[in-house]
Copies of this chain bind each other. A is one copy, B any other.
Amino acid sequence: MGIIRKTQSITILLNEFADDTVAIAATELAKRLKTQLNKTTIYRLLSKLEDDGIVHSFLDRNGTKWYAKCTGCTTAKHADIHPHFQCTDCGKVDCLSIEIPIPNIPNRKVTISQMLLQGKCEHCLAQSSD
């Protein structure tokens, strides 16, 4: 869509997305970058980056909004192919690299599908005795 200027703010913000599969909550970004960027700027940039297909967003069960970099996804319908996983123990969220097919529903034309998975992540599984 729009042209994104390489401003200092963009650089600071994108630096937070070092790991391509780990998602970050918008509120966490606002907190983390508080001293460097205004929260208005952060929210505005995130939304612009999403419009431009640089990042994608999704909501967890608590209504927290998460952002992650788009690596595999196309601009048009990003975040719609791969599921997201949230650990119920540590709360961390990430993108899974598998594709979930869009189910075929009678009498409807389904174009977008989103899946949120919850359970224990690798790290928290190792911690517990199971």
Q: Chain A: residues with CB nearer than 8 A to chain B?
A: 59, 61, 63, 65, 83, 85, 88, 96, 98, 100, 102-103, 105, 107-122, 125, 130
Q: What's the Cα separation between A59 and B61 when bound, in Å? A: 7
B108 close to A119 (CB less than 8 A): yes
Interchain CB contact under 8 A, A109 and B120: yes
B102 touches A117 (CB 8 A): yes
Copies of this chain, complex-wide, total 2
Contacts of A119 in B (CB 8 A): 105, 108-112
Q: Which residues of B contact A112 (CB under 8 A)?
A: 88, 117-119
Chain B residues with CB under 8 Å of A122's CB are: 107-108
* Residues on B with beta carbons closer than 8 Å to the beta carbon of A108: 85, 117, 119-122, 125
* A44 CB, min distance to chain B CBs, angstroms: 17
> By the criterion CB–CB under 8 Å, are A117 and B98 in contact?
no
